[in-house]
Amino acid sequence: MRILAIESSCDDTGAAVLDGPEQILSNIISSQFDVHARYGGIVPELASRCHIEAIWPVVQEALSAAGTSLDEIDLIAATRGPGLVGSLLVGFTFAKALALVRQIPCVGVDHMAGHLLSVFLEDNHPRFPYIALVVSGGNTSLFKVDNPTRFQRIGRTRDDAAGEAFDKVAKLLELGYPGGPVISDLARDGDPTAFAFPRAWLDEDSLDFSFSGLKTSVVNQVHRLKQKEVPLPVPDICASFQEAVVEVLVEKTIRAAKRYDCSTVVLGGGVASNPRLRSLMAERSDREDMKLFVPAPLFCTDNAAMIGLAGYHLFQAGHTVTPDTDAYSRSPLM
């Protein structure tokens, strides 16, 4: 089965062609980085306009890079939600219209399901059930994944997402957008113990997260340093902040795996490309005798291949959409 997948939930327009659930023939992503960079964050109206311009060229590029054409496509999978509704509507409506014209089935995929399953785009597959930490720009949640279409949310952030905290701290330090990659690069040269930023463990046993207190603590620290008129030790701030985020993410994931008696742990979402998160998670899961599966950074951040993969399983489970199916901005999984 040949699948054309479309992802447009946020600021990147993605299209991919897959042969079956896991063989990627092409995976194209068109970034709107330059458009939003000068505003220090995503401007939803601009994002929708850019998707409209990009969608058809990106789909054509995905088809031609895969050496195929629409005649050979058996299924169209597109992100239905969650995300910026204006952005979602462009990709999802395009997919439904194309499916209608070509008389092929269309599935509407939850973006979170894509992040939860993206590890299957790698050769080495985890076994079900597994505990997944999805840590991205808009979400930080723990799930128990029972099979490719059954996900139980067992923990979530009560305020900011981890990626959002990275982006806000980067903005405070005037490092540009998105903040995660810049902070993790600078953190390499910093001392993670330079500042004792708080870790929000919440109530004992909680699998929820909270990052707004940490963000405020970084803001206060930066103000204090600025008042002293000393040069900001930016790498130390980045390393100490990153360590505070990563430590909580790792410990809560291990806690969840123990609680649900799962010896397999999976990461997904943009923040999962953070090298410190990957190394500490590897260290801790090794010590607990758990198996860890992490997608390549390319599959952690938004991409259409993961939507094609999740869409294949939805189709197998009998879920297709009709032209009047709506996109949604909040995920029923969350």
The answer to whether 51 is annotated as binding is: no
Stretch that binds ligand ATP, among 89-97, 172-180, 199-207, 231-239 (CB under 6 A): 172-180
Stretch that binds Fe ion, among 57-65, 134-142, 238-246, 273-281 (CB under 5 A): 134-142
Among 8, 79, 87, 136, interactor with Fe ion by CB under 5 A = 136
Give the residue carrying structure tokens 């600021």. 11
CA 277 to chain centre: 14
Cβ closer to ligand ATP: 111 or 284?
111
Residue 167 engages Fe ion in binding (rule: CB under 5 A): no
Cβ closer to ligand ATP: 99 or 302?
302
The answer to whether 311 is annotated as binding is: no
The neighbour count for residue 74, using CB atoms within 10 Å, is 13
Alpha helices of the chain — where are they, by DSSP H? 33-37, 44-65, 85-102, 111-117, 162-172, 179-187, 212-227, 234-259, 275-287, 297-300, 305-316
The neighbour count for residue 202, using CB atoms within 10 Å, is 14
Rounded to whole angstroms, the Cα distance separating 127 from 70 reads: 34
Tokens encoding 180:
């995660």
Phi, psi (5° rounding) for residue 29? -135, 130
Rounded to whole angstroms, the Cα distance separating 121 from 310 reads: 10
Among 179, 192, 308, 311, interactor with ligand ATP by CB under 6 A = 179
Stretch that binds ligand ATP, among 68-76, 121-129, 136-144, 222-230 (CB under 6 A): 136-144
Rounded to whole angstroms, the Cα distance separating 220 from 334 reads: 31
The answer to whether 136 is annotated as binding is: yes
Q: In what order do the strands lie in the sheet with 75-81?
A: 23-31, 12-19, 2-7, 75-81, 106-110
Residue 149, classified by CB atoms within 10 Å of its CB into exposed (0-12), middle (13-18) or buried (19+), is middle
Phi, psi (5° rounding) for residue 320? -120, 165
In the complex, least distance from residue 136 CB atom to ligand ATP, rounded to whole angstroms: 3
Partner from Fe ion, ligand ATP, none contacting 243, C-beta within 5 to 8 A by type: none
The answer to whether 115 is annotated as binding is: yes
Residue 11 engages Fe ion in binding (rule: CB under 5 A): no
The answer to whether 36 is annotated as binding is: no
Among 21, 108, 270, 311, interactor with ligand ATP by CB under 6 A = 270
The answer to whether 191 is annotated as binding is: no
Cβ closer to ligand ATP: 136 or 240?
136
Residue 83 engages ligand ATP in binding (rule: CB under 6 A): yes
The answer to whether 274 is annotated as binding is: yes
Tokens encoding 139:
């979400």
Among 86, 91, 108, 163, interactor with ligand ATP by CB under 6 A = 163
Residue 166 engages ligand ATP in binding (rule: CB under 6 A): yes
Tokens encoding 112:
């979170």
Phi, psi (5° rounding) for residue 236? -65, -40
Residue 159, classified by CB atoms within 10 Å of its CB into exposed (0-12), middle (13-18) or buried (19+), is middle
Residue 274 engages ligand ATP in binding (rule: CB under 6 A): yes
Residue 9 engages ligand ATP in binding (rule: CB under 6 A): yes
Partner from Fe ion, ligand ATP, none contacting 233, C-beta within 5 to 8 A by type: none
In the complex, least distance from residue 258 CB atom to ligand ATP, rounded to whole angstroms: 25
Among 181, 213, 233, 235, interactor with ligand ATP by CB under 6 A = 181
Pairing of strands 75-81, 106-110: parallel
Which residues are at the interface with ligand ATP (CB under 6 A)? 9-10, 83, 111, 115, 136-139, 163, 166-167, 178-181, 184, 269-271, 273-274, 301-302
Binding-site entries: 111, 115, 134-138, 167, 180, 274, 302
Binding-site entries for Fe cation: 111, 115, 302
